[in-house]
Amino acid sequence: MKRSFALPLLFVLACKPPTPAEQMDAVVSWVSTAGMAGDAWLRHTTPDNYTRQALQLSNQQLLEIGTELRKSPPPAIDGATLDSVLTRSRFHIAQMARLVEEKNAPDFKTQLDSLRTDQRLVKQLSDSVESTQ
């Protein structure tokens, strides 16, 4: 009985920190999320509010993971490259979030296309981290 009370506490306290490979996976995941949400919005199949929130969320998540990565960068890749691609992605995502509000689809598409380029780069970086593990 005591066990059932102590367990939830234990869960909250104990969760091991993510490895660099997991962090890179998360980066890929969030950049792709932004891309996919952007696609859906361009097709007019998702509400503006949702799209803006999803973009803001991925921007914020990328910021957090980026800060962590800067503290302990994965040894296999160039820290500066990673840093710049993260900053660029976040810039595009932030622009997209703004353009949703303005309902400016053409400019949104331009930003989305640039994000796609960064998405591929992020994927390459993540793969190289994975292969060195």
Q: Quote the distance between the C-alpha of residue 8 and its chain's center.
A: 29
CB 65 to another protein: min, Å: 11
Torsion of CA 40, 42, 47, 50, to 10 degrees: 60
Contact of 111 with 99, CB cutoff 8 Å? yes
Position 15 contacts another protein (CB under 8 A): yes
CB 105 to another protein: min, Å: 16
Nearest-angstrom CA–CA distance, 133 and 120: 20
φ/ψ of 77, rounded to 5, equals -125, 165
CB 50 to another protein: min, Å: 5
Query: Residue 40 or 76: which CB sits closer to another protein?
Result: 40
Position 33 contacts another protein (CB under 8 A): yes
CB 89 to another protein: min, Å: 14
Nearest-angstrom CA–CA distance, 132 and 116: 25
Position 123 contacts another protein (CB under 8 A): yes
| From 69, 95, 126, 129, residue interacting with another protein (rule: CB under 8 A) | 126
